[in-house]
Amino acid sequence: MFGIGKNKVEVKDTSGHLELTEKISKMNLSDMRIYVNNKLKNFEVSEDGLSEVMNRLISKDAKGNRFIETDAMDSKIKKALDLVIVIASNKKVTVLITEQIQQFIELYSDIIFEFDTANKQIYGSKLKDSLLGSVATIASMAEINRKAKVLGK
């Protein structure tokens, strides 16, 4: 790690990370769900992979368009919302991924509200509950790590 002031820049294994990033950048929503559910051959789900999937969902393209726009088909919106819920319930969720989930909810709040209203769904509350669940997972992992340090393992 390199320290620059208070910010730390972490050097990662670039070959595996670049391959993972490239693979995820070519996936559609169904492929991303297969990856998140750990059913993709040759690629085991990882914290970096989950983060890359969330980055793909919350980043905008060169034209400033979001991954999902208001004119998207309901099936695409539903798949994206379900994907975020699955990511939030994954055991490999991290603080960064939780923050990305929160960004997703804020970025797509208009689409979530419109989708819930038009289709009589409750994805707004499902996403908030899944966000709270990911925070609980992180808290329990921190507690387990703390206890392991106390026990000296």
Amino acid 4: pLDDT: 41
Banded model confidence at residue 13, pLDDT cuts 50, 70, 90: low
Amino acid 152: pLDDT: 82
Banded model confidence at residue 87, pLDDT cuts 50, 70, 90: very high
Mean pLDDT of 63-79: 93
Amino acid 7: pLDDT: 41
Nearest to 1 by CA among 149, 101, 15, 10: 10
pLDDT surpassing 70 at residue 2: no
pLDDT surpassing 50 at residue 48: yes
The rounded distance, in Å, linking the Cα atoms of 35 and 40 is: 5
For the chain, what is the total number of helices (H) and then of strands (E)?
7, 2
Banded model confidence at residue 14, pLDDT cuts 50, 70, 90: low
Polymer length in residues for the chain: 153
The rounded distance, in Å, linking the Cα atoms of 136 and 105 is: 18
The rounded distance, in Å, linking the Cα atoms of 113 and 83 is: 17
Residues 6+ apart with CB under 8 A from 92: 45, 46, 47, 50
What is the sign, positive or negative, of the torsion defined by CA atoms of 116, 121, 127, 128? positive
CB-based burial label for 40 (10 Å; 0-12, 13-18, 19+): middle
pLDDT surpassing 50 at residue 64: yes
